[in-house]
């Protein structure tokens, strides 16, 4: 996978997805990771991170043959506003999962996460020959549930009492996207 993505740049409408390296990260990246609002529904919630943690994370991800860690960069200003990650966790069955972090809150509510995920899924199906994408979120994260179904994902299962959220255990929802699900919603992508 790494040979294929050495100079990867996935163009979206007003931003692009590019390989994340330590030179490109914004100063605000550290701020995102330590912002309770940004991390409210994620495993990072309640934890503190340092610049070293970020550097290590980027280094490990970029060395891994299973992880594609991309930054979301605005086209005009080149500003780094978030990340999106594809983890090819099951090569035999060609399964991958996608997770996102839109750290810059000014860009929430503009459809950026859906567009970034849509483009990365299309890349995964076409260039990486992925069979199925998995997306997951805790039940209280309703925005993420809606994002997944907007992308054509189907709710495949519920892991009961699986995640400690604000002092209580909540269920985790698992969504799956196959090619036919995705290209039914986005037929224009099937030509790309």
Partner 1 sequence: MASDEKVIRDYLKELILNLYSISEEPDDDTELVASGIIDSFGIVRLIDEIEKEFKITISSEELIPQNFCSITAMSNFIIRLKDKD
What residues line the site for partner 1 (CB under 8 A)? 108-111, 113-114, 139, 142-147, 149-150, 155, 173
Nearer Cβ to partner 1 (16/148): 148
CA count, 13 A, side-chain hemisphere, 159: 11
CA dist., res. 191 & res. 23, Å (int): 34
Q: How far is the CB of 46 from partner 1 (least distance, A)?
A: 22
Q: How far is the CB of 9 from partner 1 (least distance, A)?
A: 24
Nearer Cβ to partner 1 (67/104): 104
Question: Do 23 and 58 form a contact (C-beta atoms < 8 A)?
Answer: no
Among the listed residues 31, 111, 121, the one whose alpha carbon sits nearest the alpha carbon of residue 68: 121
Nearer Cβ to partner 1 (49/108): 108
CA dist., res. 137 & res. 99, Å (int): 10
Q: How far is the CB of 143 from partner 1 (least distance, A)?
A: 5
Q: Say whether 35 sits in a helix, a strand or coil.
A: coil
Nearer Cβ to partner 1 (143/164): 143
């Amino acid at each position: 996978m790494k040979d294929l993505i050495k100079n990867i740049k996935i163009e979206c409408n007003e931003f692009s997805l590019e390989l994340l390296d330590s030179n490109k990260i914004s100063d605000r990246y550290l701020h995102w990771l330590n912002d309770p609002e940004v991390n409210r529904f994620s495993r990072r919630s309640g934890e503190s991170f340092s610049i070293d943690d970020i550097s290590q994370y980027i280094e490990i991800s970029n060395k891994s043959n299973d992880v594609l860690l991309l930054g979301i960069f605005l086209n005009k200003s080149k500003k780094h506003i978030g990340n999106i990650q594809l983890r090819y966790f099951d090569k035999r069955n060609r399964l991958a999962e996608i997770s996102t972090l839109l750290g810059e809150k000014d860009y929430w509510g503009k459809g950026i996460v859906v567009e970034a995920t849509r483009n990365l899924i299309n890349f995964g199906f076409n260039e990486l020959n992925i069979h199925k994408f998995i997306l997951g979120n805790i039940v209280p994260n309703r925005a993420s549930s809606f994002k997944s179904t907007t992308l054509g994902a189907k709710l495949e299962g519920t892991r009961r009492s699986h995640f400690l959220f604000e002092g209580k255990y909540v269920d985790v929802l698992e969504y799956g996207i196959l090619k036919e699900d995705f290209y039914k919603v986005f037929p224009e992508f099937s030509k790309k």
